[in-house]
């Protein structure tokens, strides 16, 4: 750690002790302590010295001179003995104090890193009925079923858009047209054909209000039930269809058998190849099954594949046009044919091989579509190294990412190697917030370095493994920073004028990680993304909300 770095650290620590350090200063202090072992040592020494001096002053403790301790002969023997006793007591007290200081300073260091007191995980507990429960600190999710396929869906009135992979909670699920495949947590799978409306009750029960569906219920989900007004269809291990309209309800069994219960608690078994129609008056009439009237799983898979091919072709057409956008300064589509080269080719037009990225560690894998490639970042060193020359004003970052988990404090999307004036950092905090910062002033000035702009937390474990579109726009003219998730604004905030750089620049940087080791022992902060990226765009301009939405709509898998 050089002299300037020490002075910067001491300045930050003094401001922290005085209670005058703002959020940006705390963030910088955390970064220095996290990345510089000598800074951590210096921090502990300063804190130990400060605390020891304060304790000595408070207790009136004064250690005897060393020479006095070495001589215990002559007329001063009695006095020296008392001195030795005081010294032993002083050293025992100092040892206790040192132990306490280590604990206290460890806690202070943890506070600096986590912004809260260290937490001791609680053990999981079991209820009296043997069902598992969770501790207060354990991450949780909500839902009773998952959406696993959506084909040509037009939504009826929904509180918000539903995507493949979303967990469904109890409530109404309705589509105007198309097909939705829902997998209940009990193991039953339902294909809903629009127009249709169902009410999700529990992992084992749904009420069908209208429409047509086909259900497959494996042995593990036996007992899965569908309510239809005053009639209940209870599966006994089978595959069946159910159609509900104002004219009545039609149950048809394609494999196995179901039990139908009506209002008079009459129970009827319906076996494979047979059906049962409930008339508006409530009477039941036996019929033959017509399986071809219900979309089966193979047909839905074929429709989903056609939809995927169509969307991929549409994205290819769009990507050809965006690659020529004069505002683009970096563009990586991760779409080159299978290659053993450890190069991520620049996708900008006209071609410029100087912008090619160097793949380090990251593995080529499948992207948003079967036909498309991506890079997977798993190990601490995985990254793509790039060199982007030039000086710019506003910037827009956009990428398609599949996050497996946020298990690092900082999960990198795109970071410049250093953090000098005008250099931006774009990453995700462990808390699920998008994080953007750009350094405002040179390091040697005493001015605040930057203002970090976080989004509201957007990521939760239920999103693990799903492709999402992330974007951040930095408008240097207005100081406004806007974060986007799947084409929609997550948050906007403004960087004060005194914390705005005059221009921006990139230089050497990494996609999916941060920098290279610079210390003699080659240690470095673990900031790699745990997941995949299959498209990365960097514009030297502030794109509008509509333009971000357009990128998402054309790239949506």
> How confident is the model over 439-486, as pLDDT tens digits?
998 877 777 788 899 999 999 888 888 999 999 999 999 999 999 999
CB 335 within 8 A of CB 371: no
- Give the highest mean pLDDT range of 19-28, 56-65, 498-507: 498-507
Among the ranges given (139-143, 157-161, 179-183, 275-279), the one the predictor scored with the smallest mean pLDDT? 157-161
Question: Are 149 and 259 in a shared domain?
Answer: yes
> What's the token pair of residue 216?
């497959």
16: number of Cβ within 10 Å: 15
> What per-residue confidence (pLDDT) applies to 103?
47
| CATH code of the domain covering residue 195 | 2.60.120.1440
In a domain, 113, yes or no: no
Question: Are 544 and 413 in a shared domain?
Answer: yes
To which H or E segment does residue 454 belong? strand 453-454
Question: Are 370 and 514 in a shared domain?
Answer: yes
In a domain, 136, yes or no: no
Question: Are 366 and 410 in a shared domain?
Answer: yes
Q: Which domain holds residue 243?
A: 145-295
pLDDT exceeds cutoff 60 at 4: no
Question: Are 482 and 369 in a shared domain?
Answer: yes
Residue whose token pair is 């593995």: 363
pLDDT exceeds cutoff 50 at 402: yes
Dihedral sign for Cα atoms in the order 167, 170, 171, 172: positive
Of 262, 295, 328, which residue sits at a domain end? 295
Question: Are 468 and 402 in a shared domain?
Answer: yes
Of 295, 328, 361, which residue sits at a domain end? 295
Question: Are 353 and 239 in a shared domain?
Answer: no
Output the CA–CA distances (angstroms, integers) from residue 289 to 240, 273, 276, 301, 366, in the order listed: 9, 5, 9, 23, 41
**What residues does 537 pair with on adjacent strands?**
331, 398
Question: Are 291 and 322 in a shared domain?
Answer: no
In a domain, 470, yes or no: yes
> What per-residue confidence (pLDDT) applies to 303?
95
In a domain, 229, yes or no: yes
Mean pLDDT of 411-429: 93
Question: Are 435 and 542 in a shared domain?
Answer: yes
Question: Are 362 and 435 in a shared domain?
Answer: yes
Question: Are 179 and 235 in a shared domain?
Answer: yes
In a domain, 95, yes or no: no
Q: Which residue has the higher pLDDT, 217 or 37?
A: 217
Question: Are 349 and 476 in a shared domain?
Answer: yes
In a domain, 398, yes or no: yes
Output the CA–CA distances (angstroms, integers) from residue 180 to 9, 74, 357, 400, in the order listed: 57, 99, 40, 24
pLDDT in tens, 41-57: 777 666 655 555 554 44
Which residues are CB-contacts of 520 (< 8 A; sequence separation ≥ 6)?
A: none
In a domain, 491, yes or no: yes
> What's the token pair of residue 53?
């001096």
Percent of the chain whose predicted confidence (pLDDT) is above 70: 74
Give the model's confidence band at 34: pLDDT under 50 very low, under 70 low, under 90 confident, else very high: low
Buried/exposed 489-516: b ≥16 CB within 10 Å, e otherwise = ebbeeebeeebbbeebbbeebbbbbbbe
pLDDT exceeds cutoff 70 at 20: no
**What's the total number of domains in the chain?**
3
pLDDT exceeds cutoff 90 at 16: no
Q: Are strands 434-438 and 328-332 parallel, antiparallel or unpaired?
A: unpaired
In a domain, 183, yes or no: yes
CB 278 within 8 A of CB 272: no
């Amino acid at each position: 750690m050089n002299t300037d770095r020490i002075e910067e650290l001491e300045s930050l620590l003094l401001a922290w002790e005085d209670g005058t350090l703002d959020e940006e200063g705390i963030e910088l202090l955390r970064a220095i302590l996290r990345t510089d072992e000598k800074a951590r040592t210096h921090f502990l020494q300063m804190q130990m010295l400060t605390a020891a001096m304060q304790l000595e002053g408070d207790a009136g403790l004064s250690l005897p001179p060393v020479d006095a301790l070495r001589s215990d002969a002559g007329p001063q023997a009695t006095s020296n003995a008392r001195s030795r006793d005081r010294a032993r007591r002083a050293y025992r007290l100092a040892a206790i104090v040192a132990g306490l200081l280590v604990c206290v300073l460890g806690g202070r260091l943890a506070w600096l890193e986590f912004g809260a007191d260290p937490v001791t995980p609680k053990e999981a507990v079991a209820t009296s009925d043997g069902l598992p429960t969770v501790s207060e600190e354990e991450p949780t999710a909500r839902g009773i079923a998952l959406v696993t396929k959506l084909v040509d869906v037009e939504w009826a009135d929904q509180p918000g858009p539903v995507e493949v992979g979303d967990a469904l909670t109890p409530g109404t699920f309705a589509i105007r047209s198309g097909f939705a495949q829902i997998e209940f947590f009990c193991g039953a799978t339902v294909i809903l054909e629009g127009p249709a409306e169902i009410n999700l009750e529990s992992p084992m029960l749904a009420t069908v209000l209208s429409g047509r569906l086909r259900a497959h219920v494996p042995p593990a989900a036996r007992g899965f039930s569908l309510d239809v007004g005053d009639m209940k269809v209870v599966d006994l291990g089978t595959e069946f269809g159910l159609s509900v309209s104002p004219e009545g309800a039609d149950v048809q069994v394609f494999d196995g058998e179901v039990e139908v219960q009506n209002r008079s608690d009459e129970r009827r078994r319906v076996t494979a190849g047979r059906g049962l129609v409930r008339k508006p008056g409530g009477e039941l009439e036996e019929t033959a099954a017509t399986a071809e009237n219900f979309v089966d799983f193979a047909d839905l898979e074929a429709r989903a594949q056609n939809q995927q091919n169509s969307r991929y072709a549409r994205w290819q057409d769009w990507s050809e046009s965006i690659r020529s956008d004069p505002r683009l300064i970096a563009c990586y589509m991760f779409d080159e044919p299978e290659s053993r080269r450890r190069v991520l080719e620049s996708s900008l037009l006209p071609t410029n091989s100087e912008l090619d990225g160097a793949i380090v560690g990251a593995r080529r894998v499948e992207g948003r579509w079967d036909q498309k490639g991506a890079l997977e970042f798993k190990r601490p060193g995985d990254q793509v190294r790039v060199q982007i020359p030039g000086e710019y004003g506003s910037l827009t970052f956009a990428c398609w990412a599949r996050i497996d988990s946020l298990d690092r404090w900082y999960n990198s999307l795109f970071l410049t190697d250093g953090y000098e004036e005008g250099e931006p950092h774009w990453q995700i905090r462990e808390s699920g917030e998008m994080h953007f910062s750009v350094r405002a002033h040179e390091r040697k000035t005493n001015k605040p370095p930057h203002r970090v702009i976080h989004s509201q937390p957007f990521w939760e474990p239920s999103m693990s493994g799903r492709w999402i579109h992330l974007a951040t726009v930095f408008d240097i003219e207005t100081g406004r920073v806007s974060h986007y998730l799947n084409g929609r604004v997550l948050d906007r905030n403004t960087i004060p004028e005194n914390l705005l750089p005059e221009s921006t620049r990139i230089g050497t940087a990494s996609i999916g990680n941060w920098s290279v080791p610079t210390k003699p022992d080659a240690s470095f902060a673990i900031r790699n993304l745990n997941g995949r990226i299959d498209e990365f765009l960097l514009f030297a301009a502030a794109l509008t909300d509509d333009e971000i939405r357009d990128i998402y709509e054309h790239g949506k898998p």
